Amino acid sequence: MTDIPAIMFEWDGEGMIPLYPRLADKHFIVGEKYRLAQPEERSGKSHSHYFAVIHHAWQNLPEALALEFSTAEDLRARALIAAGYANTRQFVASTKAEAVRLAAFIRHGRAYSVVSVHEFVVTEFVAQSQSLKAMGAKTFQESKEAVFEYVAVQIGVTVPQLVQSAKETT
């Protein structure tokens, strides 16, 4: 029951009526009791603040790192992956040489991923989406804090210094 999509209901004064009854029928059993809870929404202000801080940090990367992250999105994706907010796929090759070729092929296919090779195993890490649909408020806040920690270390400041510095320039 953990993969139930957000289903919209309308209060009619007596009960909650699903706006899409067929969808509700797929996920609920008539006669069973369910807890209805309003999902915690993410604020647009928090979302905008997050991307402004990441962009500011990217603009202030040390020269060596600036070459590694060509965009603020690259930095954000790497930070998400480093913080554990990544989807992982593994491939097993028959030889080390094949694993290296496979890793090169996989790297070429995605803009925001990290690919590693260990012996015959190729592992791809892809940053999780932080879209409103993909990530709820609590997980977004946790990932935001983890990304700020990673980015602050990269530019040699504390998280409060990073946030304050971004505030001063926007």
Structure confidence by residue, pLDDT tens digits, 10-49:
889 888 888 888 888 888 888 888 888 766 666 778 888 9
β-sheet bridge partners, residue 10: 17
Between vectors from CA 132 to CA 115 and to CA 35, what angle results, nearest 5°?
115
Q: Give the number of other Cβ atoms within 10 Å of residue 98's Cβ.
A: 14
Count of CA atoms in the C-beta half-sphere (13 A) of 91: 19
**pLDDT tens digits, one per residue of 63-112:** 888 888 889 999 999 999 999 999 999 999 999 999 999 999 998 867 78
- C-beta separation of 54 from 127 below 8 A: no
User: What pLDDT sits at residue 101?
Assistant: 96
Residues 9 and 136: their CA atoms lie apart, in Å, by: 19
User: What pLDDT sits at residue 3?
Assistant: 66
User: What pLDDT sits at residue 5?
Assistant: 74
User: What pLDDT sits at residue 167?
Assistant: 84
β-sheet bridge partners, residue 114: 125
Between vectors from CA 52 to CA 51 and to CA 55, what angle results, nearest 5°?
85
Would you state the structure tokens that stand for residue 26, as one six-digit string? 């797929």
DSSP string covering 81-96? HHTT-EEEEEEE-SSH
